[in-house]
């Protein structure tokens, strides 16, 4: 019995010792109904009640964020309310990052962050309070964490090192840039920050306090030699007008290459304009780029099957007059224009719902992909001759109306052409769309109209010169071969669309859907035409499927390529770019998506070529890849910071290209190799 009580006493003493050892540490606190965030508050051991150092550690689940001292629209900075009223709290804020979704910009932290805090005043030995943490993902949550610390408890041996490490993330007060070399001006909704640094800039970013009544958007940064220019669009907050910012004081943080400095500024009057849309000359340039981008879309492989259907329809109907040809092609051109207006309406709605915008983003939705699979499947069946869409029938989903005065079938062909064109990105297109999405609604609709006019130009030209269409040969047996070719193109498009579901459904279900489509077409062929046509169709379908599979289009995520990709691709991030540049390396950035046809063309024609593979595999090259197949806030933010809203996106950095050179959407081996070589110039410096 004595031994039992002695053992119990020892255990009790160990328990007290354990409690004493952790009394200066709250441990990791987490709410049972809010598992996305956990916090830890721990302190140094002290007998002095005049000053105490604390550390606040925050851990967040993926896709969650918390906020900086000046969060921006909709955010709240972390706050501690002490139970002792005489405590003065000195927060130290690590360098944040920008989060920009649908034009709403905030500044804060993801994953984890540590805040070094210094308390001054009359501080009790038993320190207690409540931490209020705002954290956001698809929703925003406020969480209260009550805590208590015994400042005379045993100090964690790692506290001093952890506090020093966290303090190293705090912007310095001087030494990076002379305050006299930094200025801020404001005029007409645009705040401009100019900073000159003799050592130049690599990958700078600017953060700013948000003034009451104003909303600051993510800066657009350009560098010219030693000079940095950050343009910050300023809009009213939830109500009212933008306040007068001239002569107001503002705190700025400028970071570059892992170093940041806090710089207080006084805003002076400037002559800047809110954005380039206020310049009529700029708008005309963008409109010309939109016309060119829309026109080039007709050369993209996405539109080829639709043009084939148009030719096939024209051959079958054999219009006998120029007037008939003119009306048919005008109907198709109006379908193209209408589809771009529908896209503009979609962008308007998404902007109102604060959802990320971009060219081709509808292909990130499995429901839209499924709809397109159904449409392309029906067109494939029609080209196989399994059913006929007659212009005089109102039963066939009113694809056309009766007689020669109905042209809804041609109108729908124009709509369909644009839907299949959106996975392609052409030169000038990305710039025009990026400008449109960053502009006011009237300007955005004007630019999308210009895109529609540009894409419909070939159709309009035939409408103006219908004699060209009448030169096509007369119908004959040769048309059966043409229909078979068109059917093969449409079947390949349908299988490619099905392959995009792999990311959403997995490879097994995707293969089942693809197999079901082919089996359905073959069964319908056997019932309608008999065994001989069934065998022909089976061989033809298997050949098309084999081609799609061999090109790694059917299984874009897990499929094997005809050419092995030997490049060691690393995940794309701003930090990875900065790190590589600090090590004197050249960086190749590739942002792609499984649904992007132009990305596939670049991959097989350029990126998988032996010369480019060898160049990107060099020891002094860092290859970074971002995947935009499904919605990604980080990739969207990366693209928008470079005035782009489409893929493919390629950029090359180096010692001679510290700001990066953005490549054309359609790559060439020569351009990639030459730019990589140019980026290395001055490497030894």
Return d(Cα 675, Cα 669) in angstroms, integer: 10
Least confident of 54-58, 252-256, 394-398: 394-398
Higher pLDDT, 592 or 546: 592
**Residue 71 has what pLDDT?**
87
More confident residue, 495 or 217: 217
User: Does residue 403 surpass a pLDDT of 50?
Assistant: no
Assess whether pLDDT exceeds 50 at residue 685.
Answer: no
The model's confidence at residue 431, banded by pLDDT at 50, 70 and 90, is low
Residue range(s) of every CATH 2.60.40.10 domain in the chain: 179-274
pLDDT, tens digit, 9 for 90 and up, residues 28-67: 999 887 888 999 999 987 766 678 999 999 999 988 999 9
Cα-to-chain-centroid distance, residue 439: 18
Q: What is the pLDDT of residues 562-576, one digit of tens each?
A: 557 889 999 998 888
Give residue 588's pLDDT. 96
Q: Kindly report the average pLDDT of the chain as a whole number.
A: 77
Ranges of CATH 3.40.30.10 domains, the chain:
569-680
Identify the band that residue 314 occupies on the pLDDT scale cut at 50, 70 and 90. Answer: low
Residues 6+ apart with CB under 8 A from 226: 196, 197, 198, 199, 200, 201
Distance of CA 79 to the CA centre of its chain: 31
Intervals of CATH 2.60.40.1230 along the chain: 24-167
**Mean pLDDT, to the nearest integer, of 296-300?**
70
Q: Which residues contact 118 (CB under 8 A, 6 or more apart)?
A: 51, 52, 53, 54, 89, 90, 92
Average confidence (pLDDT) over 118-140: 88
pLDDT of amino acid 395: 37
Residue with the larger pLDDT of the pair 27 and 153:
27
- Taking alpha carbons only, the member of 226, 260, 242 closest to residue 68 is 260
Which is it for strands 65-72 and 227-236: parallel, antiparallel or unpaired?
A: unpaired
pTM above 0.95, yes or no: no
Range of weakest confidence among 566-570, 589-593, 645-649: 645-649
| More confidently predicted of 363 and 113 | 113
pLDDT band for position 280 (cuts 50, 70, 90): very low
DSSP 252: E
| Selection from 345, 418, 349, 412 nearest residue 382 by Cα | 412
**For position 109, what pLDDT does the model report?**
94
Region 86-113: mean pLDDT is: 86
pLDDT reported for residue 1: 46
From 127-131, 248-252, 640-644, the region with the lowest mean pLDDT: 640-644
What's the CATH superfamily of 179-274? Immunoglobulins (2.60.40.10)
Helix (H) or strand (E) holding 69: strand 65-72
Q: Which residues, listed in sequence order, are joined to residue 586 by a DSSP beta bridge?
A: 621
Cβ proximity of 92 and 118 under 8 Å: yes
Q: Which sign does the torsion angle of CA 230, 235, 236, 242 carry?
A: positive
Of residues 479, 482, 480, 491, the one with CA closest to residue 540: 491
Q: Judge whether 419 and 372 are in contact, CB under 8 Å.
A: yes
What mean pLDDT do residues 93-115 have?
Answer: 85
- Most confident residue range from 227-241, 330-344, 416-430: 330-344
DSSP 37: E
pLDDT of the residue at 9: 43
For 443-459, the pLDDT digits (tens) are 778 888 888 888 888 77
DSSP assignment of 156-217, as one string?
Answer: PTTHHHHHHHHHTTSPBSSSSS-GGGEEEEEETTEEEEEEE-TT--SS-EEEEPPPTTEEEP
- Assigned CATH class of 24-167: mainly beta
The CATH superfamily of 569-680 is Glutaredoxin (3.40.30.10)
Q: How far is Cα of residue 454 from the mean position of the Cα atoms in its chain?
A: 26
Cis peptide preceding 87, ω within 30 of 0: no
Statement: residue 435 has pLDDT above 70: no
């Amino acid at each position: 019995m004595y031994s039992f009580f002695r053992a119990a006493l020892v255990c009790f003493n160990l328990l007290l010792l354990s409690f004493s050892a952790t009394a200066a540490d709250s441990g990791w606190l987490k709410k049972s109904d809010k598992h996305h965030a956990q916090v830890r508050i721990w302190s140094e051991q002290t007998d002095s009640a005049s000053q105490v150092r604390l550390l606040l550690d925050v851990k967040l689940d993926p896709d969650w964020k918390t906020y900086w001292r000046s969060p921006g629209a909709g955010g709240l900075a972390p706050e501690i309310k002490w139970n002792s009223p005489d405590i003065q709290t000195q927060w130290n804020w690590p360098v944040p990052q920008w989060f920009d979704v649908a034009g709403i910009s905030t500044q804060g932290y993801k994953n984890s962050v540590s805040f070094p805090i210094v308390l001054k005043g009359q501080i009790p030995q038993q320190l207690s309070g409540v931490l209020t943490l705002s954290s956001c993902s698809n929703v925003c949550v406020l969480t209260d964490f009550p805590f208590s610390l015994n400042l005379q408890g045993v100090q964690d041996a790692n506290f001093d090192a952890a506090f020093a490490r966290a303090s190293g993330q705090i912007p310095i007060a001087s030494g990076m840039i002379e305050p006299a070399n930094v200025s801020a001006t404001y005029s007409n909704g645009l705040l401009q920050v100019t900073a000159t640094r003799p050592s130049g800039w690599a990958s700078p970013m600017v953060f700013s306090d948000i003034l009451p009544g104003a909303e600051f958007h993510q800066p657009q940064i350009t560098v010219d030699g030693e000079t940095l220019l950050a343009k910050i669009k300023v809009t009213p907050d939830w109500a009212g007008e933008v306040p007068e910012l001239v002569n107001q004081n503002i705190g700025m943080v400028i970071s570059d290459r892992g170093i940041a400095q806090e710089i207080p500024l006084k805003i002076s009057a400037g002559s800047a304009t809110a954005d380039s849309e206020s310049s009529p000359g700029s708008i005309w340039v963008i409109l010309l780029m939109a016309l060119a981008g829309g026109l080039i879309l007709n050369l993209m492989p996405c539109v080829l099957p639709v043009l084939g259907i148009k030719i096939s329809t024209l051959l079958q109907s054999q219009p006998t007059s120029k007037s008939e040809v003119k009306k048919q092609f005008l109907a198709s051109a109006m379908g193209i224009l209408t589809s771009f207006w529908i896209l503009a309406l979609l962008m308007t709605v998404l902007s109102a719902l604060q959802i990320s915008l971009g060219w081709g983003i509808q292909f990130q939705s499995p429901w839209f992909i499924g709809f397109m699979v159904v449409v392309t499947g029906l067109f494939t069946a029609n080209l196989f001759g399994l059913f006929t869409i007659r212009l005089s029938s109102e039963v066939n989903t009113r694809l056309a109306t009766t007689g020669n005065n109905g042209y809804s079938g041609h109108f729908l062909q124009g709509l369909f052409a644009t839907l299949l064109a959106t996975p392609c990105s052409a030169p000038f297109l990305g710039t025009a769309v990026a400008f449109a999405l960053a502009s006011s609604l009237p300007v955005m609709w004007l630019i999308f109209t210009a895109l529609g006019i540009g894409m419909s130009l070939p159709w309009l030209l035939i409408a103006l010169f219908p004699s060209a269409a009448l030169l096509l040969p007369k119908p004959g047996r040769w048309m059966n071969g043409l229909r078979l070719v068109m059917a093969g193109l449409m079947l390949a498009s349908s299988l490619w669309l099905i392959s995009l579901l792999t990311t959403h459904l997995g490879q097994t279900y995707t293969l089942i859907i693809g197999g079901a489509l082919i089996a359905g077409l073959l069964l319908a062929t056997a019932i309608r035409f008999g065994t001989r046509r069934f065998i022909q169709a089976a061989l033809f379908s298997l050949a098309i499927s084999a081609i799609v599979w061999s090109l790694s289009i059917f299984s874009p995520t897990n499929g094997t390529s005809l050419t092995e990709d030997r490049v060691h691709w690393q995940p794309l991030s701003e930090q990875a770019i900065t790190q590589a540049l600090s090590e004197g390396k050249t960086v190749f950035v590739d942002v792609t998506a499984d649904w992007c046809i132009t990305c596939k063309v670049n991959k097989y024609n350029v990126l998988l070529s032996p010369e480019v593979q060898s160049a990107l595999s060099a020891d002094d090259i860092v290859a970074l890849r971002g995947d935009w197949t499904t919605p990604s806030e980080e990739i969207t933010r990366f693209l928008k910071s470079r005035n782009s809203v489409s893929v493919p996106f390629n950029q090359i950095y180096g010692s001679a290209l510290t700001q990066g050179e953005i490549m054309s959407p359609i790559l060439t081996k020569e351009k990639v190799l030459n730019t990589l070589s140019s980026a290395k110039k001055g490497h030894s410096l």
